[in-house]
Structure 1
Amino acid sequence: MIAGACAALAASPVAWRQEPEPTYEGLTFSSHGRPIRAIHYRPVGEGRRAAIVMMHGSGGRIRNAGPWHELAMRFAGDGYEVLTPLYTDAFADDGVRPPRMMEAWRDVGEHAVDWFIARGVDRRRAGVFGYSLGSHVAVDGALGDSRAAAAIGVAGGVDVYTPRRPRRRIPVLIIRAGSDTHVLPRNTAAWVDFLRDHEVPASVEVIDGAGHLFTPPEWAEVFARSAAFYAGNIGRPED
């Protein structure tokens, strides 16, 4: 009897339903007349009706593979629209990084947030995220003329670049790599102290044992900490 049932089951094809996944596409938008390449990620359905702009690290590239892409897909899977601009399109990185270069890069983040707002995202539901050099570009820009409502900086510190006096007071999360030898813990702490001294509500999370270059499990931890922060700010259910 059991053998007969197993044979019947084997003879009947089972239709497996694959859950829909976030989608993505390449695009360009403008920052001071310059075309900025980016990848736009979309959640399944309406999602949270919130958006995140992700600013890559030094030497970063944007492509549909690797940890940066996978992190963007995680955010999209959590219900956010995501844009990953190649901000060096605005000003090629020569390693010296004069003020006008940093300003051009910060403006890319600002204009990426504006791009989302122009397409219907409420400014209170737009955030920025940055890693290493991009952590400064994202957070310092968000505290300047940007309309972002929350910011996250990962593996950054005052040795990346000298922060400007904040013009805005929005929630900021700084995520530090516990064993970072590229951006030293004291330099991350100095950045946090600077933000708090200027009345920016900055919180800190530490990825224990992580170096400056994260492993896949450490990137997963970065996502978990970031997702919790965004969920309490830009990703909260709408009233």
Structure 2
Amino acid sequence: MTGTIFLRPAGMALIGLIAILAGAPPALAQVQVGIPGCADDVAVQASRTLVTFESRGRPIRAYLYAPRGEPNGAGLVMLHGGTGFEMNSILFDAHAIQLASRGYWVILPAYFDADTPDQRRRLVNGRAWRQAALDAAVQLAGKPGVSPGRVALWGYSRGAGVALNAASAPGSPIHSAVLVAGGGEVDGTLAGRDLSFLLMHARRDEAVPVRATLELAADLREAGAAVDVQGLDFDGHQYDLPTWCAVMGRTRTFLESRPEPEHAPS
């Protein structure tokens, strides 16, 4: 099923749409769509569409967020954490709408649709999820006003690992990635790829220790990527709203500081 919701400025924001679309409890029904509560929120000028695209022959659900004003040329693939698409689409929805209202095209794919998480099949899972992320990037690269070389990956927790694998894969068209509360390993060299990463971590993260993020940063630099590591003023893995506001603000700063790649994919 595909459906589009047009989101109006904050003063006329619809109530409870996040809860309705994601099947959330009635307690969430008083949330204003597209207004997460950050100090720098802008008036909502975006649409959200529930779409599907194909990855390795399987349908992948996704929310697609389109700017209703002038696109800024950039696209962002947001990759959810281990709690899955249904839960994280509630968490990230208003932030994605804010990004779209600033001119970004954003897609939030249900990459678990590509392969069900299974501890016995981690390598198979990883390959399927990586391809789903890359196929989502292809979807954005074809949208009006998007420069293919400015489509970036963004991932939180498990999604950060998927973003890492997709950005560092041989032949990947990705030039920028934001990894939030992520760790992992780098396989091979990234030299000559014009690849930049922003890594963010909180203090005393019980799921992804700070040392795992710092070790990943060192490995990425050794492999030839440019890396910026930023600490967050928060303790733990499940961030509060001010921390998410900081994450999104730093994400925008990072993406907007990146020049157009010299050899952007066609």
Name the TM-score class by shorter chain. Answer: 0.7 to 0.9
The 8 Å contact of residues 186 and 223 in structure 2, kept in 1 or not, is answered as no
Q: Which runs of 5+ in 1 are unaligned?
A: 1-16
The 8 Å contact of residues 210 and 218 in structure 1, kept in 2 or not, is answered as no
Q: Which residue, out of 50, 53, 68, partners 2:77?
A: 53
- How many residues matched? 218
Q: Which runs of 5+ in 2 are unaligned?
A: 1-10, 13-42, 262-266
The equivalent of 1:151 in structure 2 is: 177
The 8 Å contact of residues 117 and 123 in structure 1, kept in 2 or not, is answered as yes
Task: For residue 238 of structure 2, give the secondary structure of its aligned residue in structure 1.
Answer: coil
Instruction: Measure, in 2, the Cα distance between the counterparts of 1:101 and 1:76.
Output: 30
Q: Report the Cα offset of residue 88 of structure 1.
A: 0.6
Q: Percent identity at matched positions?
A: 31
Instruction: Measure, in 2, the Cα distance between the counterparts of 1:234 and 1:26.
Output: 31
The equivalent of 2:251 in structure 1 is: 226
The equivalent of 1:122 in structure 2 is: 147
Q: Which structure 2 residues correspond to residues 1-239 of structure 1 after superposition, within 5 A?
A: 21-62=45-86, 66-120=90-144, 121-144=146-169, 145-158=171-184, 162-167=185-190, 168-233=193-258
Amino acid of the structure 2 residue aligned with 1:173: L
Task: For residue 208 of structure 1, give the secondary structure of its aligned residue in structure 2.
Answer: strand
Query: Please, what is the CA RMSD of the aligned residues?
Result: 2.3
The 8 Å contact of residues 22 and 41 in structure 1, kept in 2 or not, is answered as yes
Structure 1, 164-173 or 53-62: larger mean CA deviation: 164-173
Show CA shifts across 1:136-195 (max 9, x none).
Answer: 10122112132122100000113xxx3322443411100111231211111111111110
The 8 Å contact of residues 168 and 186 in structure 2, kept in 1 or not, is answered as no
Instruction: Measure, in 2, the Cα distance between the counterparts of 1:177 and 1:24.
Output: 30
Q: Report the Cα offset of residue 66 of structure 1.
A: 2.6
- The structure, 1 or 2, with the larger RCO (C-alpha pairs under 8 Å, 6+ apart) is 1
Instruction: Measure, in 2, the Cα distance between the counterparts of 1:65 and 1:130.
Output: 13
Q: Report the Cα offset of residue 63 of structure 1.
A: 7.0
Q: Report the Cα offset of residue 132 of structure 1.
A: 0.3
Instruction: Measure, in 2, the Cα distance between the counterparts of 1:42 and 1:234.
Output: 22
Instruction: Measure, in 2, the Cα distance between the counterparts of 1:200 and 1:119.
Output: 27
Amino acid of the structure 1 residue aligned with 2:186: P
Moved beyond 3 Å, runs of 4+: 17-20, 62-65, 166-169
TM-score of the superposed pair, with normalisation by structure 1: 0.83
The 8 Å contact of residues 126 and 148 in structure 1, kept in 2 or not, is answered as yes
The 8 Å contact of residues 205 and 225 in structure 1, kept in 2 or not, is answered as no
Amino acid of the structure 1 residue aligned with 2:257: G
Q: Report the Cα offset of residue 27 of structure 1.
A: 0.2
The 8 Å contact of residues 175 and 207 in structure 1, kept in 2 or not, is answered as yes
Larger Rg: 1
